[in-house]
Amino acid sequence: MNKKLSEWTIDEMESLYMQLGSFRKCAKELCCDPKTFRKYYYSKKNEINNHDADMLCNDMNNTLNNILKPITNNSITPDLDTAIQTIQNAGWFVTKKPLQRNYTFDLDIEPTETNIYKVGIISDTHLGSKYQQMESLWKFYEKCEREGITTIFHAGDLSDGVNMYNGQQFEIFLHGERAQAQYIIENYPKIDGITTEMIGGNHDESFYKRYGSDICYDVSIQRPDMKYKGFYLANFNIGNINICIHHGDGGVAYARSYKPQKLALSKIENKDTPTPNILAIGHYHATCILPDYVGIYTIQMPAFQSSTPSYMGRKGLNPDIGGIILEFEESEGKLVSTKTQYVNYRTVENDY
């Protein structure tokens, strides 16, 4: 046996191993150390496994490419739905990368008078929670309809999500992304002529963190009137006015204006994006309106969820329930007047 160990193929080594029954006997046969034989055996075996894995990946890529061939421009088509279903039926999990935050969108909203616009703003509907306020949410949409509003902004936390705090599991009546998404698709206010422009909040993101699914995206696919504009932050141009919808972070401050002041300042300091004229902040469930702080019309939003015992109750927080109707007039890119209507609702118990 003059052949070097490195020159042996894995098939030859395996055949010898099967014949002799142990690495020690193989090593003795080849006049080498058992550790050296084992090292070569496994390194050659891994080469084969890696090669097989590469081949498998190539096969998978080819299969996916064939399935996805008809799809162009990243648009959702029946072919993509079929492809995703085919892949999932084969036991794979398919998810879509959520939109990045901080996109800017142009909205074509009809002014109510020359250079005067009127929009609705809501936040934190937390649907799926036993403390959701669906009846009041509908009332707000109907009020917006009566006032001729065609666009309502939603500043995040459309759903109540999953595993957000200890005890949340006892405070939701729908468990899992699919149940909450389906409920929202079927029950979220739908009024002809009204479009909801929404961003995702931390409760919505809980599904993405846990399962890789994006509930706002899933809802928006089934509800064309609900336009999903990414997580946490989106900017909208209406005429020459920029409205920033932002879902905040952390708890509400003792001084209610502290968080909106800090966020408004951060918009001034951020040189990468234009400073908004109007800033609407979700997440805090506590209303605070600062008409001209550092030149930004800043609104910290109320919510459509009453106090949850395990989180807000324990912290002694009493959320504001309601929405905002905002009328504003622009002149040469500046806000020259604003009219804010704070529409407040009483808690409806067991509104689910």
* Chain contacts with Fe ion (rule: CB under 5 A): 157, 201-202, 283
Q: Rounded to an integer, what is the distance from CA 92 to the centroid of its chain? A: 21
Q: Nearest-5° angle of CA 328, CA 236, CA 245?
A: 85
Beta carbon nearer to Fe ion, 21 or 250? 250
Q: What is the dihedral of CA 270, 275, 280, 284, to 10 degrees?
A: 20
Residue 62 C-beta: closest distance to Fe ion, Å: 43
Q: DSSP characters for 57-116?
A: HHHHHHHHHHHHTT--TT---HHHHHHHHHHHHTT-----PPPPS-EEEEE----SBTTE
Residue nearest to Fe ion (CB): 283
Beta carbon nearer to Fe ion, 204 or 330? 204
Q: Which residue has the tokens 């949850």?
A: 308
Residue 201 C-beta: closest distance to Fe ion, Å: 4
Residue 164 C-beta: closest distance to Fe ion, Å: 9
Q: Using an 8 Å Cβ cutoff, are 129 and 158 in contact? A: no
Residue 126 C-beta: closest distance to Fe ion, Å: 8
Beta carbon nearer to Fe ion, 121 or 241? 121
Residue 313 C-beta: closest distance to Fe ion, Å: 17
Burial 177-190 (b: 16+ CB within 10 A, else e): beebbebbbeebbe
Beta carbon nearer to Fe ion, 151 or 305? 305
The angle, 0 to 180 degrees and rounded to 10, between the axes of the packed helices 215-222 and 202-211 is: 100
Residue 161 C-beta: closest distance to Fe ion, Å: 9
Beta carbon nearer to Fe ion, 196 or 305? 305
Beta carbon nearer to Fe ion, 200 or 276? 200
Give the span between the Cα atoms of 211 and 98, in whole angstroms.
Answer: 13
Q: Using an 8 Å Cβ cutoff, are 160 and 339 in contact? A: no
